[in-house]
Amino acid sequence: MEHRLWGGRFAAPTAETMRRFNDSFAFDVRLAEADISGSLAWAEALKEAGLISVAEHERLAQGLELVRREFADGRFVPAEGDEDIHTAVERRLSELVGEPALKLHTGRSRNDQVATAFRLFAIQAAQQVRHGLRGLQLALLAQAEQHVATLMPGYTHLQRAQPITFGHWCLAYLEMFERDRQRIDDATTRTRTLPLGAGALAGNSLGIERERLTEALDEFDAVAGNSLDAVADRDFVAELLFAFALSGVHLSRLAEDLILYSSAEFGFVELDDAYSTGSSLMPQKKNPDSMELLRGKSGRLVGNLVALLTMLKGLPLTYNKDMQEDKQPFFDSVDTLELGLQVAAGAVATLAVRPERMAAALDDAMLATDLADELVRRGVPFREAHGKVGRLVRRALELRVALRDLPLAEYQAIQPDLDAAIYSVFDFARSVARKDSLGGTAPIRVSEQCARWRELIDA
Protein backbone atom coordinates (compact mmCIF):
# COMPACT_ATOMS: atom_id res chain seq x y z
CA MET A 1 0.00 0.00 0.00
CA GLU A 2 1.36 3.42 -0.96
CA HIS A 3 2.22 5.65 2.00
CA ARG A 4 2.64 9.30 1.11
CA LEU A 5 2.80 12.48 3.18
CA TRP A 6 0.45 14.12 0.65
CA GLY A 7 -2.20 13.13 -1.89
CA GLY A 8 -5.64 13.94 -0.48
CA ARG A 9 -6.52 16.27 -3.31
CA PHE A 10 -5.33 13.86 -6.02
CA ALA A 11 -7.81 11.56 -7.74
CA ALA A 12 -5.33 9.63 -9.89
CA PRO A 13 -2.23 7.74 -8.81
CA THR A 14 1.26 8.92 -9.66
CA ALA A 15 2.61 7.59 -12.93
CA GLU A 16 5.23 4.89 -12.44
CA THR A 17 7.84 6.85 -14.37
CA MET A 18 7.05 9.97 -12.33
CA ARG A 19 7.27 7.98 -9.10
CA ARG A 20 10.73 6.71 -10.00
CA PHE A 21 11.77 10.17 -11.17
CA ASN A 22 10.51 11.77 -7.96
CA ASP A 23 11.63 9.25 -5.35
CA SER A 24 14.83 10.03 -3.46
CA PHE A 25 14.92 7.30 -0.81
CA ALA A 26 17.76 5.52 -2.61
CA PHE A 27 20.15 8.34 -1.75
CA ASP A 28 18.59 10.41 1.04
CA VAL A 29 18.36 7.32 3.25
CA ARG A 30 21.69 8.61 4.54
CA LEU A 31 19.73 11.30 6.37
CA ALA A 32 17.95 8.73 8.55
CA GLU A 33 19.86 9.47 11.75
CA ALA A 34 19.55 13.22 11.26
CA ASP A 35 15.85 12.99 10.38
CA ILE A 36 15.08 10.99 13.51
CA SER A 37 17.01 13.45 15.69
CA GLY A 38 14.97 16.30 14.22
CA SER A 39 11.73 14.39 14.78
CA LEU A 40 12.60 13.68 18.41
CA ALA A 41 13.16 17.39 18.98
CA TRP A 42 9.91 18.21 17.19
CA ALA A 43 7.96 15.70 19.29
CA GLU A 44 9.32 17.38 22.42
CA ALA A 45 8.21 20.78 21.11
CA LEU A 46 4.72 19.45 20.35
CA LYS A 47 4.45 18.18 23.92
CA GLU A 48 5.58 21.50 25.39
CA ALA A 49 3.02 23.32 23.22
CA GLY A 50 0.26 21.04 24.50
CA LEU A 51 -0.39 19.60 21.06
CA ILE A 52 0.29 16.02 22.15
CA SER A 53 0.00 14.40 25.56
CA VAL A 54 2.86 13.20 27.69
CA ALA A 55 1.88 9.63 26.93
CA GLU A 56 1.78 10.29 23.20
CA HIS A 57 5.17 11.93 23.37
CA GLU A 58 6.58 8.95 25.22
CA ARG A 59 5.25 6.54 22.58
CA LEU A 60 6.63 8.71 19.77
CA ALA A 61 10.05 8.95 21.40
CA GLN A 62 10.21 5.21 22.02
CA GLY A 63 9.06 4.47 18.48
CA LEU A 64 11.59 6.82 16.92
CA GLU A 65 14.38 5.21 18.93
CA LEU A 66 13.25 1.79 17.69
CA VAL A 67 13.37 3.05 14.10
CA ARG A 68 16.81 4.53 14.78
CA ARG A 69 18.05 1.13 15.99
CA GLU A 70 16.63 -0.59 12.92
CA PHE A 71 18.64 1.71 10.68
CA ALA A 72 21.75 1.37 12.83
CA ASP A 73 21.52 -2.45 12.80
CA GLY A 74 20.71 -2.66 9.09
CA ARG A 75 17.28 -4.17 9.83
CA PHE A 76 15.14 -1.39 8.36
CA VAL A 77 13.07 -2.63 5.41
CA PRO A 78 11.84 0.06 3.00
CA ALA A 79 8.35 -0.20 1.58
CA GLU A 80 7.21 0.50 -1.96
CA GLY A 81 5.62 3.81 -1.05
CA ASP A 82 8.70 5.25 0.70
CA GLU A 83 9.39 8.11 -1.66
CA ASP A 84 12.05 9.55 0.64
CA ILE A 85 13.64 8.95 4.01
CA HIS A 86 11.13 11.21 5.76
CA THR A 87 8.18 9.24 4.39
CA ALA A 88 9.91 5.99 5.31
CA VAL A 89 10.54 6.98 8.92
CA GLU A 90 6.96 8.18 9.44
CA ARG A 91 5.54 5.05 7.78
CA ARG A 92 7.59 2.75 10.00
CA LEU A 93 6.80 4.82 13.08
CA SER A 94 3.09 4.47 12.32
CA GLU A 95 3.48 0.70 12.12
CA LEU A 96 5.20 0.66 15.50
CA VAL A 97 3.14 3.11 17.58
CA GLY A 98 -0.08 3.64 15.66
CA GLU A 99 -2.13 6.82 15.91
CA PRO A 100 0.40 9.07 17.73
CA ALA A 101 2.59 8.88 14.62
CA LEU A 102 -0.12 10.72 12.71
CA LYS A 103 0.41 13.73 15.00
CA LEU A 104 4.18 14.00 14.61
CA HIS A 105 3.97 16.14 11.47
CA THR A 106 1.70 18.68 13.18
CA GLY A 107 2.87 22.20 12.27
CA ARG A 108 5.84 20.81 10.35
CA SER A 109 6.50 20.68 6.62
CA ARG A 110 8.92 18.49 4.78
CA ASN A 111 10.48 21.81 3.76
CA ASP A 112 11.74 22.64 7.25
CA GLN A 113 12.11 18.96 8.13
CA VAL A 114 14.45 18.28 5.20
CA ALA A 115 16.40 21.50 5.73
CA THR A 116 16.96 20.57 9.37
CA ALA A 117 18.01 16.99 8.67
CA PHE A 118 20.35 18.07 5.88
CA ARG A 119 22.00 20.68 8.09
CA LEU A 120 22.50 18.10 10.84
CA PHE A 121 24.06 15.69 8.36
CA ALA A 122 26.25 18.44 6.88
CA ILE A 123 27.57 19.45 10.31
CA GLN A 124 28.61 15.87 11.06
CA ALA A 125 30.04 15.33 7.57
CA ALA A 126 32.09 18.50 7.80
CA GLN A 127 33.66 17.22 11.00
CA GLN A 128 34.58 13.95 9.29
CA VAL A 129 36.31 15.83 6.49
CA ARG A 130 38.01 18.06 9.03
CA HIS A 131 39.34 14.93 10.76
CA GLY A 132 40.69 13.70 7.43
CA LEU A 133 42.48 17.00 6.87
CA ARG A 134 44.08 16.69 10.29
CA GLY A 135 45.33 13.20 9.44
CA LEU A 136 47.00 14.48 6.29
CA GLN A 137 48.48 17.42 8.16
CA LEU A 138 50.00 15.04 10.70
CA ALA A 139 51.57 12.97 7.92
CA LEU A 140 53.06 16.07 6.30
CA LEU A 141 54.33 17.31 9.64
CA ALA A 142 56.04 14.00 10.41
CA GLN A 143 57.89 14.19 7.08
CA ALA A 144 58.80 17.83 7.68
CA GLU A 145 60.25 17.01 11.10
CA GLN A 146 62.50 14.35 9.54
CA HIS A 147 63.67 16.61 6.71
CA VAL A 148 64.17 20.01 8.29
CA ALA A 149 67.52 20.42 6.55
CA THR A 150 67.16 18.09 3.53
CA LEU A 151 68.12 20.23 0.54
CA MET A 152 66.14 20.18 -2.68
CA PRO A 153 65.45 22.51 -5.61
CA GLY A 154 62.55 24.90 -5.32
CA TYR A 155 60.70 25.67 -8.53
CA THR A 156 58.86 28.48 -10.25
CA HIS A 157 57.35 27.87 -13.70
CA LEU A 158 58.56 24.28 -13.10
CA GLN A 159 62.10 25.61 -13.62
CA ARG A 160 64.77 25.33 -10.93
CA ALA A 161 64.68 28.52 -8.92
CA GLN A 162 66.32 28.53 -5.47
CA PRO A 163 67.33 25.83 -2.99
CA ILE A 164 64.86 25.00 -0.23
CA THR A 165 64.41 22.12 2.19
CA PHE A 166 61.99 19.24 1.79
CA GLY A 167 60.64 20.01 5.24
CA HIS A 168 59.76 23.50 4.07
CA TRP A 169 57.97 22.02 1.05
CA CYS A 170 55.90 19.74 3.31
CA LEU A 171 54.90 22.65 5.52
CA ALA A 172 53.66 24.65 2.52
CA TYR A 173 50.97 22.03 1.94
CA LEU A 174 50.24 21.82 5.65
CA GLU A 175 49.42 25.55 5.52
CA MET A 176 47.09 25.00 2.55
CA PHE A 177 45.15 22.27 4.32
CA GLU A 178 44.92 24.41 7.46
CA ARG A 179 43.12 27.08 5.44
CA ASP A 180 40.80 24.35 4.19
CA ARG A 181 40.06 23.32 7.76
CA GLN A 182 39.37 26.91 8.72
CA ARG A 183 37.02 27.36 5.76
CA ILE A 184 35.10 24.25 6.80
CA ASP A 185 34.86 25.54 10.37
CA ASP A 186 33.66 28.91 9.13
CA ALA A 187 31.02 27.40 6.84
CA THR A 188 29.91 25.05 9.61
CA THR A 189 29.27 28.04 11.87
CA ARG A 190 26.61 29.27 9.44
CA THR A 191 25.25 25.75 9.01
CA ARG A 192 24.36 25.75 12.71
CA THR A 193 21.25 27.88 12.08
CA LEU A 194 18.04 25.98 12.75
CA PRO A 195 15.20 26.10 10.18
CA LEU A 196 12.85 23.76 12.10
CA GLY A 197 9.54 25.41 12.90
CA ALA A 198 9.51 27.55 9.78
CA GLY A 199 6.83 25.28 8.31
CA ALA A 200 6.39 25.17 4.58
CA LEU A 201 7.44 28.82 4.30
CA ALA A 202 5.34 31.10 6.56
CA GLY A 203 6.11 29.83 10.05
CA ASN A 204 3.74 27.95 12.34
CA SER A 205 0.64 29.08 14.18
CA LEU A 206 0.49 26.40 16.86
CA GLY A 207 2.58 28.01 19.57
CA ILE A 208 5.84 26.12 18.95
CA GLU A 209 8.72 27.90 20.68
CA ARG A 210 11.44 27.62 18.07
CA GLU A 211 14.12 28.93 20.41
CA ARG A 212 13.61 25.91 22.65
CA LEU A 213 14.37 23.58 19.75
CA THR A 214 18.05 24.52 19.90
CA GLU A 215 18.14 23.00 23.38
CA ALA A 216 17.04 19.64 22.03
CA LEU A 217 19.28 19.98 18.97
CA ASP A 218 22.47 21.35 20.46
CA GLU A 219 24.28 21.21 17.12
CA PHE A 220 22.46 24.47 16.37
CA ASP A 221 23.49 27.82 17.82
CA ALA A 222 20.68 30.03 16.52
CA VAL A 223 17.23 29.95 14.93
CA ALA A 224 16.72 31.08 11.34
CA GLY A 225 15.37 34.64 11.53
CA ASN A 226 13.09 34.52 8.48
CA SER A 227 10.83 31.57 7.70
CA LEU A 228 11.05 32.11 3.92
CA ASP A 229 14.83 32.08 3.96
CA ALA A 230 14.89 29.18 6.42
CA VAL A 231 13.41 26.71 3.92
CA ALA A 232 14.94 28.26 0.77
CA ASP A 233 18.53 28.60 2.01
CA ARG A 234 21.11 26.18 0.66
CA ASP A 235 24.06 28.51 1.11
CA PHE A 236 25.48 26.11 3.66
CA VAL A 237 25.66 23.39 1.00
CA ALA A 238 27.33 25.72 -1.47
CA GLU A 239 29.85 26.95 1.09
CA LEU A 240 30.82 23.48 2.21
CA LEU A 241 31.03 22.23 -1.37
CA PHE A 242 33.34 25.14 -2.14
CA ALA A 243 35.53 24.29 0.84
CA PHE A 244 35.58 20.64 -0.25
CA ALA A 245 36.36 21.59 -3.86
CA LEU A 246 39.27 23.80 -2.83
CA SER A 247 40.58 21.02 -0.61
CA GLY A 248 40.41 18.81 -3.69
CA VAL A 249 42.36 21.38 -5.69
CA HIS A 250 45.02 21.44 -2.98
CA LEU A 251 45.13 17.64 -2.99
CA SER A 252 45.55 17.77 -6.75
CA ARG A 253 48.49 20.15 -6.47
CA LEU A 254 50.13 17.92 -3.86
CA ALA A 255 49.50 14.92 -6.09
CA GLU A 256 51.00 16.63 -9.13
CA ASP A 257 54.18 17.47 -7.23
CA LEU A 258 54.51 13.88 -6.03
CA ILE A 259 53.80 12.50 -9.51
CA LEU A 260 56.65 14.61 -10.85
CA TYR A 261 59.00 14.00 -7.94
CA SER A 262 58.47 10.22 -8.07
CA SER A 263 59.24 10.00 -11.79
CA ALA A 264 62.60 8.63 -12.94
CA GLU A 265 63.46 12.07 -14.29
CA PHE A 266 63.30 13.53 -10.75
CA GLY A 267 63.59 10.56 -8.40
CA PHE A 268 63.21 12.77 -5.32
CA VAL A 269 60.69 10.43 -3.66
CA GLU A 270 59.25 6.96 -4.09
CA LEU A 271 55.64 6.08 -3.33
CA ASP A 272 55.12 2.98 -1.25
CA ASP A 273 53.88 -0.10 -3.09
CA ALA A 274 50.65 0.16 -1.11
CA TYR A 275 49.81 3.40 -2.92
CA SER A 276 51.03 2.43 -6.38
CA THR A 277 49.87 0.09 -9.13
CA GLY A 278 51.49 -1.73 -12.02
CA SER A 279 50.97 -2.17 -15.73
CA SER A 280 49.00 -5.00 -17.34
CA LEU A 281 51.61 -5.14 -20.10
CA MET A 282 54.91 -3.69 -18.84
CA PRO A 283 56.30 -5.65 -15.87
CA GLN A 284 58.70 -2.90 -14.81
CA LYS A 285 56.09 -0.20 -14.28
CA LYS A 286 55.25 1.34 -10.91
CA ASN A 287 52.55 3.92 -11.46
CA PRO A 288 51.53 6.67 -9.01
CA ASP A 289 47.83 5.88 -9.46
CA SER A 290 46.90 7.09 -5.97
CA MET A 291 48.16 10.54 -6.86
CA GLU A 292 46.66 10.50 -10.34
CA LEU A 293 43.25 9.62 -8.89
CA LEU A 294 43.54 12.42 -6.36
CA ARG A 295 44.31 14.77 -9.22
CA GLY A 296 41.46 13.41 -11.33
CA LYS A 297 38.82 13.30 -8.61
CA SER A 298 39.34 16.99 -7.86
CA GLY A 299 37.29 17.53 -11.03
CA ARG A 300 34.34 15.75 -9.43
CA LEU A 301 34.55 18.01 -6.39
CA VAL A 302 34.60 21.13 -8.56
CA GLY A 303 31.80 19.70 -10.72
CA ASN A 304 29.58 19.03 -7.70
CA LEU A 305 29.96 22.66 -6.61
CA VAL A 306 29.10 23.92 -10.10
CA ALA A 307 26.08 21.57 -10.28
CA LEU A 308 24.73 22.90 -6.99
CA LEU A 309 25.23 26.55 -7.93
CA THR A 310 23.67 25.99 -11.35
CA MET A 311 20.63 24.36 -9.76
CA LEU A 312 20.14 27.24 -7.31
CA LYS A 313 20.74 30.20 -9.59
CA GLY A 314 17.21 30.62 -11.01
CA LEU A 315 15.02 29.46 -8.14
CA PRO A 316 12.27 31.77 -6.87
CA LEU A 317 11.45 31.78 -3.17
CA THR A 318 10.88 29.51 -1.44
CA TYR A 319 11.16 25.76 -1.80
CA ASN A 320 11.27 24.13 -5.25
CA LYS A 321 11.62 20.46 -6.11
CA ASP A 322 14.88 21.32 -7.89
CA MET A 323 16.38 21.47 -4.41
CA GLN A 324 16.12 17.70 -4.10
CA GLU A 325 19.22 17.76 -6.32
CA ASP A 326 21.32 19.32 -3.54
CA LYS A 327 22.05 16.07 -1.74
CA GLN A 328 23.73 13.74 -4.21
CA PRO A 329 26.49 16.25 -5.09
CA PHE A 330 27.07 16.82 -1.38
CA PHE A 331 27.14 13.12 -0.51
CA ASP A 332 29.49 12.42 -3.40
CA SER A 333 31.87 15.22 -2.41
CA VAL A 334 31.98 14.07 1.21
CA ASP A 335 32.65 10.46 0.23
CA THR A 336 35.22 11.36 -2.43
CA LEU A 337 37.12 13.79 -0.24
CA GLU A 338 37.03 11.74 2.93
CA LEU A 339 38.51 8.68 1.21
CA GLY A 340 40.94 10.81 -0.80
CA LEU A 341 42.29 12.41 2.36
CA GLN A 342 42.90 8.97 3.90
CA VAL A 343 44.77 7.84 0.78
CA ALA A 344 46.81 11.04 0.68
CA ALA A 345 47.72 10.76 4.36
CA GLY A 346 48.81 7.14 3.92
CA ALA A 347 50.84 7.92 0.82
CA VAL A 348 52.64 10.83 2.47
CA ALA A 349 53.27 8.91 5.69
CA THR A 350 54.90 6.01 3.81
CA LEU A 351 56.75 8.16 1.29
CA ALA A 352 60.44 7.28 0.83
CA VAL A 353 62.49 10.46 0.43
CA ARG A 354 65.71 10.37 -1.63
CA PRO A 355 67.94 13.20 -0.34
CA GLU A 356 70.82 12.22 -2.63
CA ARG A 357 68.67 12.68 -5.74
CA MET A 358 67.44 16.02 -4.46
CA ALA A 359 71.00 17.18 -3.81
CA ALA A 360 72.11 16.03 -7.25
CA ALA A 361 69.45 18.23 -8.84
CA LEU A 362 70.87 21.39 -7.30
CA ASP A 363 72.93 23.54 -9.66
CA ASP A 364 74.96 26.71 -9.30
CA ALA A 365 72.53 28.80 -11.33
CA MET A 366 70.10 28.49 -8.42
CA LEU A 367 72.54 30.60 -6.38
CA ALA A 368 72.47 33.53 -8.79
CA THR A 369 70.21 35.47 -6.42
CA ASP A 370 72.72 34.82 -3.63
CA LEU A 371 75.38 36.41 -5.84
CA ALA A 372 73.16 39.42 -6.40
CA ASP A 373 72.51 39.66 -2.66
CA GLU A 374 76.27 39.64 -2.05
CA LEU A 375 76.68 42.59 -4.39
CA VAL A 376 73.85 44.37 -2.58
CA ARG A 377 75.73 43.89 0.69
CA ARG A 378 78.65 45.68 -0.99
CA GLY A 379 76.42 48.67 -1.74
CA VAL A 380 75.38 47.86 -5.32
CA PRO A 381 71.72 48.75 -6.04
CA PHE A 382 69.73 45.56 -6.54
CA ARG A 383 68.55 46.32 -10.06
CA GLU A 384 72.17 46.90 -11.08
CA ALA A 385 73.31 43.79 -9.19
CA HIS A 386 70.63 41.75 -10.97
CA GLY A 387 71.96 42.84 -14.35
CA LYS A 388 75.58 42.13 -13.45
CA VAL A 389 74.81 38.62 -12.23
CA GLY A 390 72.71 38.02 -15.33
CA ARG A 391 75.79 38.77 -17.42
CA LEU A 392 77.79 36.30 -15.35
CA VAL A 393 75.14 33.63 -15.95
CA ARG A 394 75.26 34.31 -19.68
CA ARG A 395 79.06 34.15 -19.63
CA ALA A 396 78.98 30.78 -17.84
CA LEU A 397 76.58 29.46 -20.46
CA GLU A 398 78.88 30.68 -23.23
CA LEU A 399 81.87 28.97 -21.66
CA ARG A 400 79.79 25.91 -20.75
CA VAL A 401 80.92 25.94 -17.15
CA ALA A 402 79.19 26.23 -13.79
CA LEU A 403 79.10 29.63 -12.12
CA ARG A 404 81.54 28.46 -9.47
CA ASP A 405 84.00 27.52 -12.23
CA LEU A 406 84.07 30.96 -13.84
CA PRO A 407 87.54 32.52 -13.45
CA LEU A 408 87.82 35.30 -10.90
CA ALA A 409 88.64 37.68 -13.75
CA GLU A 410 85.10 37.22 -15.06
CA TYR A 411 83.68 38.30 -11.70
CA GLN A 412 86.02 41.25 -11.46
CA ALA A 413 85.00 42.31 -14.96
CA ILE A 414 81.51 43.07 -13.67
CA GLN A 415 82.54 44.14 -10.14
CA PRO A 416 86.26 45.06 -9.71
CA ASP A 417 86.30 44.86 -5.89
CA LEU A 418 85.39 41.15 -5.82
CA ASP A 419 88.01 38.67 -4.62
CA ALA A 420 88.18 34.90 -4.14
CA ALA A 421 85.84 35.15 -1.16
CA ILE A 422 82.96 35.45 -3.65
CA TYR A 423 83.17 31.69 -4.24
CA SER A 424 81.87 31.07 -0.71
CA VAL A 425 78.46 31.91 -2.11
CA PHE A 426 78.41 28.50 -3.82
CA ASP A 427 77.25 26.56 -0.79
CA PHE A 428 73.64 25.37 -0.92
CA ALA A 429 73.38 24.76 2.82
CA ARG A 430 74.69 28.27 3.44
CA SER A 431 72.19 29.69 0.98
CA VAL A 432 69.29 27.97 2.68
CA ALA A 433 70.50 28.88 6.17
CA ARG A 434 70.56 32.58 5.24
CA LYS A 435 66.84 32.51 4.30
CA ASP A 436 66.06 32.96 7.97
CA SER A 437 63.26 35.49 7.77
CA LEU A 438 60.02 34.47 9.49
CA GLY A 439 58.52 31.57 7.55
CA GLY A 440 61.67 31.11 5.48
CA THR A 441 63.35 27.88 4.41
CA ALA A 442 66.29 28.13 6.83
CA PRO A 443 66.39 24.95 8.94
CA ILE A 444 66.12 27.00 12.12
CA ARG A 445 62.88 28.54 10.82
CA VAL A 446 61.54 25.22 9.53
CA SER A 447 62.19 23.74 12.99
CA GLU A 448 60.23 26.61 14.54
CA GLN A 449 57.36 26.03 12.12
CA CYS A 450 57.36 22.31 12.92
CA ALA A 451 57.23 23.00 16.65
CA ARG A 452 54.38 25.47 16.19
CA TRP A 453 52.39 23.03 14.05
CA ARG A 454 53.01 20.13 16.41
CA GLU A 455 51.56 22.17 19.26
CA LEU A 456 48.58 23.37 17.21
CA ILE A 457 47.65 20.00 15.72
CA ASP A 458 48.15 18.02 18.91
CA ALA A 459 45.89 20.51 20.68
Residue 315 vs residues 359, 365, 370, 426: alpha-carbon distances, Å: 57, 58, 58, 64
| CA pair distance 180, 459, nearest whole angstrom | 18
Concerning whether 424 is annotated as a catalytic residue, the answer is: no
Whether the Cβ atoms of residue 347 and residue 291 lie closer than 8 Å to each other: yes
| CA pair distance 435, 443, nearest whole angstrom | 9
Residues whose CB falls within 8 Å of the CB of residue 44, separated by 6 or more in sequence, listed in order: 57, 61, 216
**Where would I find the H helices in 147-234?**
166-191, 210-216, 227-232
Whether the Cβ atoms of residue 363 and residue 431 lie closer than 8 Å to each other: no
- DSSP structure class, residue 220: -
| CA pair distance 319, 201, nearest whole angstrom | 8
Q: Which of 131, 157, 250, 431 is catalytic?
A: 157
Concerning whether 157 is annotated as a catalytic residue, the answer is: yes
Whether the Cβ atoms of residue 87 and residue 3 lie closer than 8 Å to each other: yes
Q: Which of 53, 131, 263, 279 is catalytic?
A: 279
Contacts of 368-371 with C-beta under 8 Å, sequence gap 24+, read 368/392, 368/393, 368/403, 369/162, 370/425, 370/431, 370/434, 371/403, 371/422, 371/425
Residues classed as catalytic: 157, 279
